[in-house]
Amino acid sequence: MTVAEDRTPRRPEELFKPETGRTYKEFWEKVAETREGAYLGVAGTLFDQPLDDEDMDIDGEAVAQVIGDTLAVGPEHKVLEIGVGVGRIAQHIAPRCGEFHGVDIAQNMIDVANKRLGDRGNVHLKALERTGLEPYADGTFDRVYCQIVMIHIDREDVYQYI
């Protein structure tokens, strides 16, 4: 499944309903079937209008500044973002670190993020098959963060990431 360049405005109530998916993976794959849907899922809308790449840049910059400063991210660090989505924060954190890794439950989100960040040599993005970080050994990363991810998942599944 590839991500289409659909700019047809969609309302949150069209996507955020039980029929969209029965698992996290199904749900987020469906939300992110189009780039516009992925952006809506990550950041909502602006004055009821779909967001574009510039909106994603602006939206992620301030958050990335706080995260990067709080975690004291530097060029010697290997950083992981859980729930990287379309890379709105990653695009600003990746230049600050030596190696950036982003994971998401939805391959479609990773596809959008790859289109946005694919030209950066230190960025590595991966779609997870299930909740948790089993693909990575303990101690792999110097810094790990997530932003507005854990509110989307069941408490029991949060522990899989922690």
Regarding pTM above 0.85, the answer is no
Tokens standing for residue 141: 């990363």
Write the CA distances from 122 to 62, 90, 125, integer angstroms: 21, 11, 10
Tokens standing for residue 60: 């992620």
- What residues are paired with 102 via a beta bridge? 81, 125
Q: Angle, to 10 degrees, between the axis of helix 107-117 and the axis of helix 24-31?
A: 50
Q: If pLDDT is split at 50, 70 and 90, which confidence band does 157 have?
A: confident
| pLDDT above 90 for 136 | yes
pLDDT in tens, 24-83: 778 877 877 877 777 777 767 665 666 677 777 777 899 999 999 999 999 999 999 999
Percent of the chain with pLDDT over 90: 43
Whether residue 56 contacts residue 88, with contact meaning beta carbons closer than 8 Å, is answered with yes
DSSP 120: -
